[in-house]
Homo-oligomer: A and B are copies of this chain.
Amino acid sequence: MSDKYKHGEKILVAVDCIIFGYDHGTLKLLLFKRLLEPLKGGWSLIGSFILPNESVEEAGKRVLHEITGLDEVYMEELKSYTAVDRDPGARCISIGQFALIGLENEETLEIKDGVQWHSVSDLPELVLDHNQMVVDALARLRNRAQYYPIGLELLPKKFTIPQLQTLYEEIFQKKFDSRNFRKKLLSLNILIQLKEKDKSSSKKGAFLYEFDYTKYRKLKNKGFKFSLI
């Protein structure tokens, strides 16, 4: 190592994943029960130290794969958590990784032992500063759901407008007017209506839609700023 770096103090760097899922109307968070001291038995986000040969992003993806078996998952950096005394075990910073999983898409989802989905509206106390991470991640989720079509990551590839509205009502904890919700959404021209209907929740059935990623990208590139709600 170069001289220049001698006075740097090396410390432990972890990632912690704040993983949201959405299952039949309920927003959920993936947690696991710590098996080791300190704080054994406490509910925790799922994390890992980063390895010498990986970036933080790669560490996040690795953790997510180890836990769920999934590879193509929406993930973005949340923020760093670096208070000196945040971890009683050692000086250790953590980079929060915000992730979304569409539970109804993922046939292959095989959750590892000791890992459990928890309804966001009824979370246990978490270890360390993980409660704060969840608070921050929920704020991020709301921001993203408003300004990006990211809510769709939580739904199956084919979804109905009432399904999307229910998801938004869960995320924002408030009701939306169904006529205005639909009108605004469709006016963005980023959904493709399919011929099929989903009849699981009504006799009439609701048309299925897919997200038009190409159109969305074009709009974004033109600098179009949109708000879904």
Question: A residues within 8 Å of B by Cβ?
Answer: 1-5, 7-14, 36-38, 49-57, 77, 79-80, 82-84, 89-93, 95
Judge whether A4 and B93 touch: CB under 8 Å: no
Given contacts A36-B3, A37-B4, contact A54 B11 (CB under 8 A): no
Closest 4 CB pairs of A and B: A8-B49, A10-B10, A56-B82, A2-B89
Give every chain B residue within 8 A of A37 (Cβ-Cβ): 2-4
15 pairs of residues in contact across A and B, judged by CB atoms under 8 Å: A2-B90, A3-B36, A4-B38, A5-B12, A5-B89, A5-B90, A5-B92, A8-B90, A9-B50, A9-B52, A11-B50, A13-B13, A55-B82, A56-B93, A80-B95
Nearest chain-B residue to A8 (Cβ)? B49
Given contacts A1-B89, A90-B5, contact A56 B80 (CB under 8 A): yes
Query: In the assembly, how many copies of this chain are there?
Result: 2
A4 to B3, CA, bound (A): 31
Chain B: minimal CB distance from A73 (Å): 18
Q: How far is the CA of A12 from the CA of B82 in the complex (A)?
A: 13
Contact partner of A38 among B2, B12, B95, CB < 8 A? B2
A13 to B118, CA, bound (A): 33
Q: A56-B82, A77-B79, A82-B57 are in contact. Are A49 and B7 (CB under 8 A)?
A: yes
Query: Chain B contacts of A50 at CB under 8 A?
Result: 9, 11, 82
Contact call B80/A8, Cβ cutoff below 8 A: no
Q: Say whether B92 contacts A49, CB under 8 Å.
A: no
Complex Cα distance, B144 from A66, in Å, reads: 36
Chain B residues near A3 (CB-CB < 8 A): 36-37
Q: How far is it, in angstroms, between the C-alpha of A12 and the C-alpha of B79 when the chains are bound?
A: 18
CA distance A63 to B127 in the complex (A): 31
- The reply to whether B8 and A10 contact each other, CB–CB distance below 8 Å, is no
Q: What is the distance, in angstroms, from A39's C-beta to the closest C-beta of chain B?
A: 9
Chain B residues near A7 (CB-CB < 8 A)? 49
Determine the distance from Cα of A91 to Cα of B56 in the docked complex, in whole angstroms.
12
- CB neighbours (8 Å) of A55 from chain B are 82-84
Instruction: Give Cα A49–Cα B10 distance, bound, in whole angstroms.
Output: 9
